[in-house]
Structure 1
């Protein structure tokens, strides 16, 4: 069998839930504050995956305006009961401080492309919900339960309750069926049934470098659950130099031939600070059931960088330049997302062959900012656009950005002085995280008041440089210094551990702090992967 390099979903693709229906495999992953909600990829061979849908597309399903960074859609679970698809998810409204506001919902669809239903509200008692379809027809809803009285964290175990499709709500008794192990912070429950055993898979240890996957089992779905004799079944904690770190939060799938695979999140840290600029990615491991009816990760519990899969992966598209043009009749390319709002017409539209961003709140707003971006999926890349923008003053600015959240980003903008004279301005939060203030002095260059401007950025490992040129110029010129690209990462997202979840993006933005809705027009966007000697994991 061919050796396939992990991860199978590179870049920000966290909290994988895997499902097989016939010969088709699907993986659903978290999208947090990025809209539309939930990414679902499809494969026929477990090696080659294609994004097929983001099912939460309208206000009745999801409205994240006001959700803080790294809140929004957490840990979706995708299942099929033989008749239709079921998707459960959390919309997190608050995660910091003593309390968490976590609302859980269920949507369904006859096929993966939809149409997806309006949501049924389940509960708000915790996050990471999943739905288990038992062989007697009952459906069981499980999620972690939180107790704000617990210190230092509110994780209080895994709670279960029956879901009644006819009633459209949770019914019957609710019980905590598993309190976790000494690894602590138990979450991400998935239930399975095999050989008369109910298996409960959970994640423990937090989302940082102590992350792990725990397996327990019981003859009765209500428990008590005994823990795997070699817990955890997956973790990188014992090997801090292994290529795949932060391994945990996973799901199990069986092939038609009876082989077992385990998908899980992971991170690939770079620099001496162990920063995961690509966020939490999805990897896959071969697994097997032992004679003792326990699941084991092949060559585990530390995840392998290479895994045996039925076919090789075709990396042609992964290394291809992506030249995005805009067509009024086709809409925005599926690689792009925006932040929080279910009303994208308020922040962008496509007119003819130009993307028009409508200036709203400042970059980093938790409510309504005009920013469209795609995931950073390579450690080194080039990005470029050409923009037409006529700002009136310094409170109107637009351009190209390497973005994580309000607390860290790099942003090359076209703006103006109070007298209307246009200039280029580099905004950086490099020296101020986690406070999210701009770093001073800002780099700037005066430009003519009319004409399009070509904007570009280049990342080589941890080094980021901005470039520009005017309409009559062919060569790009650097503006500003070399910046530390590695801060656009989970570890620097405003929380140094267990609190930032989304990975780096690159894209286009426009702000109008005067409230006049100034428009910035973009002709194209280019994302060009680059193989670079500083990149440890790229082959």
Structure 2
């Protein structure tokens, strides 16, 4: 069986393809660097994080991008021995205007190297590259319209793309305006039995999300929508365990079976908040005699378990719980915030066996933070690190952070002030309101151990001076605050847990982290 979600933690907007016996799936990474996570499977049930193709500033410069901006909805495809990846870099996302830049990169190997980007356009987002059977290639995307009195989601457009010249040519064709559900985005095109099928994400990426499908005998339309629409949604079942279901991507197996990867979210019990973020699930789908697509077993609700395809299971080796920083390369689960790692602010060699971070800007910055983090993937989990840090000014801090964005985070930090000297304290930021807990733990030794323990909507920080005896520090915190839609925030990323350092005096005081561990409880 395939047990959903297959990609736990913040891994939205899946774009799935098959190349012979290998399956690849690209997901959005927003303001986290490197950009676009690509996962690999050989059975659709077991997945491993394989690579990040956008690993150079020349491909992706996220400095100054807003939280939940950056990389939206990558589209992965393969044709004639070449991998194509299309993506949007969102520079502004609030209000009427969206500053959107769409690019394409290519590679002969899924693990790279990936090319420098070719610029496409800035008219909308969610670009998708369709390879027609006549050899022509087309870029589809949603169109954004900022003008008052008009729908912001202004239809799906299509324009021809020349791969040799790496540019768009010819007229921009408006091929579909979406179904009555509205908010049409995430277009995916495929051809089957003489029909062109247009799979759309509709209803918005929240609790009204849905997957719809339309078809036409001509690529340029007109497209008729399935009278059974939508294909999938949870809008009428708020108790279903997989909410926000939509934004699908289709793949056909070697034996002719069809599956759809899609967004979902698992709310906290009794609360419509998902601190794990939007995840990825896979559904089995079937074609009817009339040429329409249905979830296997009928109905419109995504299943928690679906039959796996007819192929041998292919599990991957389990990842180690603990990273001792004994190599010269960060583990693939770690990402930095907006900027690539470089020896100006991060080193794995200056003190072998330690991750050294040099403090930069605050946790409010959209530019240069010294922060390395990984996804929270389970409702019950704990993360732990050991830190050596000797601040001598209140502007110098380092520690363990549970981070949604600059408006909502929890931070167990080591700091210094004139009254308490070197100490540990919990600080929080809730909807942009920064607070420091009154109680602190004095630290005479430069070495201490920090832990964050999640139990659904409860988060408790702990501290130890020897790594054996742990005590609570700070109050029990509401992990629901880290959800991307907490109090109407309308974010798109999920909770990240990691290590960070700040030096607001500009001297780049360093902190040394001996290890980082993450495990499901």
Query: What TM-score, normalized by structure 2, do the two folds share?
Result: 0.96
Q: 2:442 maps to which residue?
A: 446
CA 1:461/1:316 → structure 2, altered by over 3 Å: closer, same or farther?
farther
1:29-75 per-residue CA deviation (whole Å, 9 max, x = no partner) reads: 00000110001111111111111110000011001000010000000
Q: 2:258 maps to which residue?
A: 260
The 3-state SS of whatever aligns with 1:346 is coil
Per the TM alignment, residue 280 of structure 1 is displaced from its structure 2 partner at its CA by 0.6
The aligned runs of 1:359-508 (5 Å cut-off) are: 359-418=359-418, 421-429=421-429, 432-433=430-431, 436-439=432-435, 441-448=437-444, 450-471=445-466, 474-492=468-486, 495-496=488-489, 499-508=490-499
The aligned runs of 1:222-261 (5 Å cut-off) are: 222-261=220-259
Partners of 1:417 and 1:439 lie apart in 2 by: 16
Partners of 1:62 and 1:376 lie apart in 2 by: 24
Per the TM alignment, residue 442 of structure 1 is displaced from its structure 2 partner at its CA by 4.0
Query: Is 1:88 aligned with 2:82?
Result: no
CA 1:174/1:316 → structure 2, altered by over 3 Å: closer, same or farther?
closer
1:369-414 per-residue CA deviation (whole Å, 9 max, x = no partner) reads: 0110110111011111111111112211100011111111110000
Query: Is 1:309 aligned with 2:308?
Result: yes
Per the TM alignment, residue 152 of structure 1 is displaced from its structure 2 partner at its CA by 7.8
Q: 1:201 maps to which residue?
A: 199
Report if aligned partners of 2:426, 2:436 keep a CA contact under 8 Å in 1: no
Across the aligned residues of Structure 1 and Structure 2, the Cα RMSD in angstroms comes to 1.7
Query: Is 1:517 aligned with 2:508?
Result: yes
Per the TM alignment, residue 5 of structure 1 is displaced from its structure 2 partner at its CA by 1.7
Partners of 2:345 and 2:483 lie apart in 1 by: 25
The 3-state SS of whatever aligns with 1:106 is strand
Per the TM alignment, residue 419 of structure 1 is displaced from its structure 2 partner at its CA by 6.5
Q: 1:167 maps to which residue?
A: 165
Partners of 2:314 and 2:255 lie apart in 1 by: 23
CA 1:317/1:404 → structure 2, altered by over 3 Å: closer, same or farther?
farther
Partners of 1:222 and 1:103 lie apart in 2 by: 24
The 3-state SS of whatever aligns with 1:52 is strand
Partners of 1:11 and 1:152 lie apart in 2 by: 35
Report if aligned partners of 2:425, 2:436 keep a CA contact under 8 Å in 1: no
Per the TM alignment, residue 451 of structure 1 is displaced from its structure 2 partner at its CA by 2.2
Q: 1:26 maps to which residue?
A: 24
The 3-state SS of whatever aligns with 1:45 is coil
Partners of 1:33 and 1:84 lie apart in 2 by: 27
1:309-341 per-residue CA deviation (whole Å, 9 max, x = no partner) reads: 0369788967x76101112x4310101001111
Per the TM alignment, residue 447 of structure 1 is displaced from its structure 2 partner at its CA by 1.8
Partners of 2:89 and 2:138 lie apart in 1 by: 20
Report if aligned partners of 1:14, 1:282 keep a CA contact under 8 Å in 2: yes
Partners of 1:78 and 1:423 lie apart in 2 by: 48
Partners of 2:139 and 2:380 lie apart in 1 by: 42
Per the TM alignment, residue 155 of structure 1 is displaced from its structure 2 partner at its CA by 1.0
Partners of 2:396 and 2:257 lie apart in 1 by: 57
- Among 308, 333, 347, the alignment partner of 1:349 is 347
The 3-state SS of whatever aligns with 2:485 is helix
1:451-497 per-residue CA deviation (whole Å, 9 max, x = no partner) reads: 201111111111111111224x73011111111112111122x744x
Give structure 2 stretches of 5+ with no counterpart.
Answer: none
Query: Is 1:528 aligned with 2:510?
Result: no
Q: 1:324 maps to which residue?
A: 323
CA 1:152/1:466 → structure 2, altered by over 3 Å: closer, same or farther?
farther
The 3-state SS of whatever aligns with 1:363 is coil
Report if aligned partners of 1:139, 1:164 keep a CA contact under 8 Å in 2: yes
1:148-182 per-residue CA deviation (whole Å, 9 max, x = no partner) reads: 01458611111110001222210001011111122
Report if aligned partners of 1:391, 1:420 keep a CA contact under 8 Å in 2: no
Report if aligned partners of 1:262, 1:286 keep a CA contact under 8 Å in 2: yes
The 3-state SS of whatever aligns with 2:410 is strand
- Among 324, 331, 334, the alignment partner of 1:333 is 331
CA 1:314/1:465 → structure 2, altered by over 3 Å: closer, same or farther?
farther
Report if aligned partners of 2:2, 2:307 keep a CA contact under 8 Å in 1: yes
The aligned runs of 1:135-146 (5 Å cut-off) are: 135-146=133-144
Query: What TM-score, normalized by structure 1, do the two folds share?
Result: 0.93
CA 1:269/1:49 → structure 2, altered by over 3 Å: closer, same or farther?
same
The 3-state SS of whatever aligns with 2:409 is strand
Report if aligned partners of 2:437, 2:474 keep a CA contact under 8 Å in 1: no
The 3-state SS of whatever aligns with 2:387 is strand
Report if aligned partners of 2:2, 2:44 keep a CA contact under 8 Å in 1: no
The 3-state SS of whatever aligns with 2:480 is helix
Partners of 1:512 and 1:29 lie apart in 2 by: 33
Report if aligned partners of 1:59, 1:343 keep a CA contact under 8 Å in 2: no
The count of corresponding residues between Structure 1 and Structure 2 is 517
Report if aligned partners of 2:47, 2:316 keep a CA contact under 8 Å in 1: no
